[in-house]
Chains A and B, each alone.
Chain A
Amino acid sequence: MAEAIVKTENLTYEYIRRDAEGNPEGVTTAVDHLSLDIAPGSFVAVVGRNGSGKSTFARHLNALLVPEESAVWIDGMDTRDSDKHLDIRMAAGMVFQNPDNQIIGQVVEEDVAFGPENMGVPTEEIRLRVDEALELLKLTDKRLDSPNRLSGGQKQRVSIAGVLAMRPRCIILDEPTAMLDPQGRAEVIRTAHRLNREEGITVILITHHMEEAVDADCIYVLDKGKIAMQGTPREVFARVEELKALRLSVPQVTYLAWLLRRRGVALPEAVLTVEELVNALVV
């Protein structure tokens, strides 16, 4: 196996809870001794309920948070080394939840250029990168539009283009679909898979919608800052009751297949799509 693009070792993040007067109430462990390796080129989903620590985890991958005792390596770089922070952010780009709060430019192409501009890329090269990123995200015809005129899904694609123009090896999507309608959600997830498949970019998708993890190579389910489950979608989706206890859910078709199997209908352990279920039933 190639060297891991993301590696964490006993990653722990604690913060002090305070009451209304600002007096410390106790310590919350948002991420609790989390160790994992993510192989370059893979598509990994990190799933968990609100407050499971998944966003805190994500922020460590971009050196927005830096561990004190434990360690995170991005593309071999230790995030505790503050001289490496810019390089780490170039290697692992990050897309956030609210599309409105991460678009800086007043024109689509200017926003996409923001990252390379900060990196000090020469003007001609910025132009190239911006055009390439817009092309890849099918936004070329929108390049001179105001982001305010775009749909939620389009805005998130602009955010992804902005990260892509930094030519990262890895993209971290932190709940990119939470504020989108079903069309926008499908648009973003499709795009993430395409970038993974065609450009070989490692994708780490943070989400609480299990159905978005169906096509991932590997799923980590987080709870209380720890890895509660880990495996291929098929392995994880088979554990319907455990997932429910973790305040997650499986796609309806998986749930239906699980109900049927429990009643004694002969079906494989986990069914992920309508086609699969229909084909399994109609022999």
Chain B
Amino acid sequence: MRGITIGQYYQADSPLHLLDPRVKLLCTLAYIIILFFADNPYAYGLATIFAFAMVMISTVPVRMILRGMRAVLFLALITVLFNLFLTPGDVLVEFWIFTITRQGAQTAAMMALRLFLLVLASSVMTLTTTPNKLTDALERGMRPLKIFRVPVHEIAMMMSIALRFIPILSEETEKIMNAQMARGAAFDEGNVLKRAKSLIPLLVPLFVSSFRRAGDLALAMEARCYHGGKGRTRLHPLRYATRDVIAYLVFAAFLAGMIVVIRLF
């Protein structure tokens, strides 16, 4: 619990790490969208090559990326099974009540690959961007939503405060748990209902302390002249550099390639 890291950022100095977070956010988004239009093996081939190239450039160890994959393994399995057995078409194999069709096998493979690439792309983004910078990028990226009176600055500030307090609250949870266990509490006994009830001595103090912290923090922010996003300047303002332009160009080339391949086949 002590060494907890949020996000799963991997510290390195790769070209991907140095990119402006907006580039990464935008490109990842576009990549995911174009994946949903991909409907032939060639398009998937190109997308896979691009994704692996990014992994190589990021210098993040492959096992760290694979670790993120584990979470969606079950989902991928279900998707594959459904598509494999429930797609009608030319029968490939038949046994007992199951039939596998050629179309089914193809869709299943593409679905699995799509899911895999989707997770891969977002992992590469979160592994190479600190949660901080991601929040900044979101704030800037969502700016157009201000017209619809979406409190963009406040949302970003909330996210960044949440990120700061998650490790503190997780440490606090551990402390309260220990204190209640010292009073004979058990958190791992009995049926579901009993277990849920046993969480009360943990959750009430945690809420109380969160509210106290929130109050303290609000006061501290006010004391440091916080008055919303208006007129705020930044220590690290987001500024595009040449490398960001190059990154956009490279990505645009990839996107064009994808569109050609999707149209062509």
**Which residue on chain B has the smallest CB distance to residue A163?**
B224
Contact residues in A for B225 (Cβ distance below 8 Å): 86, 89-90, 115, 118-119, 166
At the interface, yes or no: B231 with Cβ under 8 Å from chain A? yes
- Contact with A117, one of B167, B216, B235 (Cβ below 8 angstroms): B235
Contact residues in A for B49 (Cβ distance below 8 Å): none
**Which residue on chain B has the smallest CB distance to residue A159?**
B220
Given contacts A105-B164, A106-B131, A148-B168, are A94 and B223 in contact (CB under 8 A)? yes
A162 to B225: give the CA distance in the assembly, Å.
11
Contact residues in B for A86 (Cβ distance below 8 Å): 225, 227
Report whether B235 and A109 are in contact in the complex, using a CB–CB cutoff of 8 Å: yes
Report whether B160 and A117 are in contact in the complex, using a CB–CB cutoff of 8 Å: no
A75-119: which have CB < 8 Å to B? Answer: 86, 89-90, 93-94, 96, 98, 100-107, 109-110, 113-119
- Max count, chain A CB within 10 A of own CB: residue among B160, B167, B227, B236: B236
- Max count, chain A CB within 10 A of own CB: residue among B131, B163, B223: B223
At the interface, yes or no: B75 with Cβ under 8 Å from chain A? no
Report whether B217 and A102 are in contact in the complex, using a CB–CB cutoff of 8 Å: yes
A253 to B130: give the CA distance in the assembly, Å.
51
- Contact with B217, one of A89, A104, A107, A130 (Cβ below 8 angstroms): A104
- Contact with B220, one of A101, A120, A130 (Cβ below 8 angstroms): A101
**Which residue on chain A has the smallest CB distance to residue B237?**
A123
Contact residues in A for B212 (Cβ distance below 8 Å): 101
Can you list, as one digit per residue, whether each of B218-237 has a CB less than 8 Å from chain A (1) or not (0)? Answer: 01111111110001111111
Report whether B235 and A120 are in contact in the complex, using a CB–CB cutoff of 8 Å: no
Given contacts A62-B223, A96-B219, A106-B131, are A101 and B213 in contact (CB under 8 A)? yes
A119 to B213: give the CA distance in the assembly, Å.
24
- Max count, chain B CB within 10 A of own CB: residue among A105, A117, A130: A117
Number of interface residues of A (CB under 8 A): 39
Contact residues in A for B131 (Cβ distance below 8 Å): 106
**Which residue on chain A has the smallest CB distance to residue B226?**
A118
- Contact with A64, one of B168, B213, B219, B233 (Cβ below 8 angstroms): B219
At the interface, yes or no: B161 with Cβ under 8 Å from chain A? yes
- Contact with B160, one of A106, A119, A148 (Cβ below 8 angstroms): A106
**Which residue on chain B has the smallest CB distance to residue A86?**
B225
At the interface, yes or no: B99 with Cβ under 8 Å from chain A? no
Report whether A114 and B233 are in contact in the complex, using a CB–CB cutoff of 8 Å: no
Given contacts A104-B164, A106-B164, are A123 and B234 in contact (CB under 8 A)? yes
Report whether A117 and B132 are in contact in the complex, using a CB–CB cutoff of 8 Å: no
A120 to B222: give the CA distance in the assembly, Å.
15
- Contact with A130, one of B160, B222, B233, B235 (Cβ below 8 angstroms): B235
Report whether B224 and A89 are in contact in the complex, using a CB–CB cutoff of 8 Å: yes
Report whether B220 and A96 are in contact in the complex, using a CB–CB cutoff of 8 Å: yes
- Contact with A101, one of B216, B224, B231, B233 (Cβ below 8 angstroms): B216
At the interface, yes or no: A127 with Cβ under 8 Å from chain B? yes
A163 to B217: give the CA distance in the assembly, Å.
14
Can you list, as one digit per residue, whether each of B149-189 has a CB less than 8 Å from chain A (1) or not (0)? Answer: 00000000000110110011000000000000000000000
**Which residue on chain A has the smallest CB distance to residue B160?**
A106
Report whether B163 and A106 are in contact in the complex, using a CB–CB cutoff of 8 Å: yes
At the interface, yes or no: A24 with Cβ under 8 Å from chain B? no
Contact residues in A for B231 (Cβ distance below 8 Å): 120
**Which residue on chain B has the smallest CB distance to residue A121?**
B233
**Which residue on chain A has the smallest CB distance to residue B223?**
A94
**Which residue on chain B has the smallest CB distance to residue A87?**
B225
Contact residues in A for B222 (Cβ distance below 8 Å): 64, 89
- Contact with A110, one of B216, B221, B223, B235 (Cβ below 8 angstroms): B235
A115 to B161: give the CA distance in the assembly, Å.
15
4 additional A-B pairs beyond A103-B164, A104-B164, beta carbons within 8 Å, are: A93-B223, A117-B234, A118-B232, A166-B224
23 contacts between A and B (CB under 8 A): A62-B223, A64-B219, A86-B225, A89-B222, A96-B216, A98-B213, A103-B164, A104-B164, A104-B220, A104-B221, A104-B224, A107-B132, A110-B235, A113-B235, A114-B221, A117-B233, A117-B234, A118-B224, A118-B226, A120-B231, A123-B233, A126-B234, A166-B225
Which 4 pairs across A and B sit closest by C-beta, in order of nearness?
Answer: A102-B220, A101-B216, A113-B235, A118-B225
